[in-house]
Each structure stands twice: as structure tokens, then as C-alpha cells.
Structure 1
């Protein structure tokens, strides 16, 4: 199939980029270091009000190092939920993909409430749609301060939102770059290799359900990313979805690792969240797989927020999807 793109230019009289917004949710600026109590679990500030329920189970040894909480559904964001990200210039705002994997998919903006330690403990107000992004999926990824990338599933597209865009600025058909469609359904997870690795800031992508792990050849060009090629380097098991690189130095992770959702079509009881050590290219080493969550309700979106390193995980397809947050990680490295 031929390479297909289109460009949408948005003219607006707004004073502020709606994708970055103006959250008002911080209760205090405070110390965002995520201070820990005696057993190594964050405890210097009161935790979010709702611990994760019995359907969310951290696997050993992580159950002794981390705590999971349920932030609930995102007010105003339609199910199912996709990826999420904190805008590069507004830590009190969260962007959340709603209507994921459907024609009505859109990115919504909502304020967040942070405690005195910087941890997100709730949502502030009602979400507002800021960009129409049909088929948006598991990860929202900034590759520059004013350029976000996301996948379209099951459309086989990698799409971009630049600046004030309220619709895709550029869409790249990955089939035109060699992604097969005969025995798979399209790209789901997307991420940037962390700064500590030799392949820092390179794009990685995984398909669902086939688990094909790709390097994405790209270069920033005139405010957008030129997507020039794909190369498959691994095949992940268990129908992987959203993924994120674990912040270096986090408890229980001696080597750079990646955390991956496993969303199983035939048996939701087999859903897991796994972690892998990665090589210098940021590729998972399959023989290092461990479970992080031994049980999780339909895991999909994955993200480490930049202020505290807390891990946001979103469910997909539960009827009322929730955002969960895990405290105990180190803050991630800055990529730009």
C-alpha cells in the first residue's frame, strides 16, 4: 500500500496551546522526591484515598517495594482509555486518550491534584477534548517539547500532533514501510529509549496482538518527525500493549528495564504486566521476563510521570476504565 499522509493546520485565537493547558490542581509545590518511610514505600505524604482493589496484585518482590492506588475513571473521558502523558510545560495537567481504538478517539485534558510531595492523588474538574485523534491507542509520546506521537490501532498508522493541532498533523502508514498486516492487527505501544542508553531518544514500537517489536527510523524535520523505516528486532509474547521504560535506579531494577502490558484476547484472567531487562538498543531481553502485576484488570496504557516517577497504568475495555498509580519509582531522566 502506498505511503499516505495528510496535514491539518489549525488557526486559533487562543492564548494557550490546548494540548498543554493550564492545570490548577497542585495543592502544594513541595518536595517531589517521593520520600519513603522505613520500609522503602512512599509514606511521608498521605497516599491517594483509594488503594487498588483485590483485582490489582503486585508480584513479588515488587509488592514489598511499591504501592498501587486507584484514581478511578477520568471525569469526562469516554471509555475505553488509551495512553496518557503530562504536558511538557504543565505538570498540573494530564492528557488522556479516550474512545481508544475507535473512530471517535480523542485526546482530553484534565487538571490533576498533587500532594505536598508532588504525587498525583486525584483529578481536578472535568476533562475537555483538545484533539480529534481517531483510533488513538496505548501511548502518547512527546519526541520534542511541541510534538507528540501516537499509534492508530487497528489502522496501521503512526500519527503526529504538532503545536496547536486539534487533529493529526501527519499520519504515516506503517504498511508502506514494511509492517505486515496479514497475521497481526496494528501498532499499539510506542516509546522513546531513555537517555542513559546508547540508543537514547530512538523510537520503539510494538504491535498487538502479534508482539512484533520494531525500531522506528525517524528524524525531526521542520517541526514534525520524518518516519523513514522500520526494522523488527524481537517478538514479545502474551499479546503486549502499552509499554514504558522504567526510570533508572528504581527499587528492584538493577538494570535498565521496560514495563509492558499483556492484554489477552481469549482469557482476561491471564492478563499481566511484565518487566524485561533491555539491551543497549532498548530492546527487551526475552529471557529476563518477570511479572510486575500478577493480576490487573485489562491493562493497556503505561506511563511514568515526570515529577515523581509514579507509574500510571490505565485499563482498557472494563466497561468503566480506571487510572491506577504506583508509587515508589525514581523520577525518569529528561529526554529533551
Structure 2
């Protein structure tokens, strides 16, 4: 259904998009094969075709795994159409390595997601976000299951959007929201706030980078776990639908790619769509819109760090009052020790507060300068660590 041109994509007919999809399908049946480039083969990366998902309607859209549900994949079906929806499917993992080896059954309809495309994400508050092609909108299913679709043209994103991602903690622009325009091959950083209902309120884009010609038609964005082989600097991967490649870049200002650092990692693709880092293993996964409608896994990356992971050591016992709060809150620790540490993260993993704690059993903190929404409070108290959610109204 998709095709690509620098300036005229918004005006292309449905028939022309269908022709391009037919070409992709024909290429697939004639032996169109994907492969890792030599640099990454030498570094020990491997490519595994996980195949198609039973009863998932083609064409496949983006995909995601919720850290608290690591054995369930959420993936778009009937992508780019009004009948598009999000589906869930059980994952089969190797019992030792935890790598995904297949699917544990048929896809199950999860929720309507009309015109879903390469970007799908659940935040920690339960809001589902997905990019919508070709109307250039951000779909939002709020925690109360109400549905909102936000036009993106108003915020400086060229029609039509393809993918989106949040910049992880520790990367330049951490906590920021990055969109890609499929049609214009431009990446954007878009500021936002979150209201008490979980709705994302966007502002005008503050930075943009063109990947035209390098990773044209960007349909998936993923941030590569730090320390991965042959990635000496913090990097990201982009699924380039139009080029039939996955291209990796170093991450620059605002969480955007640095074009001069581009390296092709995978070539010979048909319909590269979506991008995902497996929270358990660090594997890179993406789907294909056409090209056999399948899921592909690249292994060899480091395991990502996450504030959602359960601590392996003793749990710190503490309470937060009031919760929800309008800004100020008190932390009350059981058996507090000198030199403890409180850290507060927003829903995307960006640290918004860090402060040492003393031996007092009740200390007051202030988040009134932060936008409303859900936060994760981490407390290190001696050799114990604990996590709790905090809702800022």
C-alpha cells in the first residue's frame, strides 16, 4: 500500500501504493532474502526468521512488548486500513537464553487501532499510542479505553507519519518523543505533557533530521542497548521500508540520528516495518508489511537496563504520602540509613529527581515543576532497593 517520494507522497493514489506492494510480494516469492552485512556477522550477530503469526491479518504493522508482560507480543494487523487493529500473541522463549523462538498460538484481537502503522507503544500509565497512516495522526487509547486521534501536521510533522519511539534513559534527549515522517524521511523530536487522564498533549517539534536516501521511508525506531558489540557510542536502529534495509546511527541531540554515522545492518528486506528491543534479551525485532508478513529477530545485542525490572536484592520498605499528589510528597522509610538515595523517573525512564536521604524517617520532596502523570520512585536504603508508582495530578 505504500510508496515513497520526497515531495508528492501525500497525493499518490491507492492504486500506485498497491502496485508497489505487489512488487514487494513478487520479489519475496522470487527469492528476496534478508541478510546481515559482513561487519555485523563478524561481530557475532545472528538473524532468525520467526515466520508468520497464525490468524494475524496482513499487512503487519508495528509491534511492542510490555516489560511487565514479557511473554506477550502486541502487533498491528490490517495495517494502514480503517479495519486495522492491535493483536496479542503468546511468545515461546528458549528456557535458558530467553530468546524468542516462536509463537504459542494464534493472534487474538486486542483492540481496534484503525490505520495503525510502524509505531506502537504502551506507556507505564496504560495509554496505548500508535501512529496512523496516511492521515498523519497519533492514535491514543487512554487507560479508561476512550479513544483520541491527534493530528500531527499541526505540530510540524510532514504527512504522513510512519513510526515513533521514546528516547530511553541515558541517551541524549532521554524521555523525549521521536516521530518519523514516512513520506518525507524526516525524524522529529516533539515535546509533550501528559494530563491526568493519560492523554498526550503535544507541542511544536523542536528539532528535525533528514534520513532521506540513507534510510528512506522510516517505519521503525529502536534504541540499541548500550555496550552492544561494534556500537562504541549510543546508537539507534531505523527500519527503512523504502530501501529494504535496517540502518543504524549514532544518537545525536534530542535523541535523533547522526546521518554521517549511518551503517547498513540488514539488507534485502521487503516491507521493513516497526522496531522493538526485547526487554528480556535485548534482541531487535521487526515485522514486515508484505514480504511474507513475518517477524524477524536479530540477536547479539546487550540486555537493556530498565526501571521496570524487579530488583534482585532485598526490597526497601517505604511509603509515599500523599499518593496521588499535586506536587509535594513525603517519603517514609522503615529502618532508614544514612547515605540512602531516592530517584524519580518519568514513564519513559528519564530521571527527573535524585537526592540523598538521611536517617530521618520522613523527608519531603517536590515534583510540582514536572508534568502530571505517572512516575516511578526508586529508593536505595543500604543494601535494599524498592520501587513504587507515584501519580502526579
TM range (shorter): 0.7 to 0.9
Q: Please, which of 250, 256, 275 is the counterpart of residue 234 of structure 2? A: 256
Q: Any residues of structure 2 matched to 1:67-146 within 5 Å, and which? A: 67-116=46-95, 117-146=97-126
Q: Any residues of structure 2 matched to 1:19-58 within 5 Å, and which? A: 55-58=33-36
> What are the ranges of 5 or more consecutive residues in structure 1 without an aligned counterpart?
1-52, 265-269
Partner SS, residue 154 of structure 2: helix
* 1:179 correspondence with 2:152: no
Partner of 2:250: 277
Change (3 A) 1:84 1:164: farther
Partner SS, residue 265 of structure 2: strand
Instruction: State whether residues 88 and 145 of structure 1, in contact with CA within 8 Å, keep that contact through their aligned partners in structure 2.
Output: no
Q: Please, which of 211, 221, 228 is the counterpart of residue 203 of structure 2? A: 228
Partner of 1:241: 219
> What are the ranges of 5 or more consecutive residues in structure 2 without an aligned counterpart?
1-30, 307-347, 350-393
Q: How many residue pairs are counted as aligned between the two chains?
A: 272
* 1:294 correspondence with 2:267: yes
Identify, as 1 or 2, the structure richer in helix.
2
- C-alpha separation between the residues in 2 aligned to 1:59 and 1:143? 33
Partner of 1:150: 130
- C-alpha separation between the residues in 2 aligned to 1:91 and 1:123? 13
Partner SS, residue 281 of structure 1: helix
- C-alpha separation between the residues in 2 aligned to 1:98 and 1:230? 29
Partner SS, residue 176 of structure 1: helix
- What TM-score comes out, normalization by structure 1 length? 0.77
- C-alpha separation between the residues in 1 aligned to 2:124 and 2:200? 9
- What TM-score comes out, normalization by structure 2 length? 0.66
- C-alpha separation between the residues in 2 aligned to 1:67 and 1:145? 34
Higher RCO (C-alpha 8 Å, min separation 6) = 1
Query: Which of 1 and 2 has greater Rg?
Result: 2
Partner SS, residue 126 of structure 1: coil
Instruction: State whether residues 119 and 308 of structure 1, in contact with CA within 8 Å, keep that contact through their aligned partners in structure 2.
Output: yes
Change (3 A) 1:115 1:155: same
CA deviation after TM superposition for structure 1 residue 107, in Å: 0.2
In angstroms, what is the RMSD of aligned CA positions? Answer: 1.7
CA deviation after TM superposition for structure 1 residue 229, in Å: 2.3
Instruction: State whether residues 194 and 333 of structure 1, in contact with CA within 8 Å, keep that contact through their aligned partners in structure 2.
Output: no
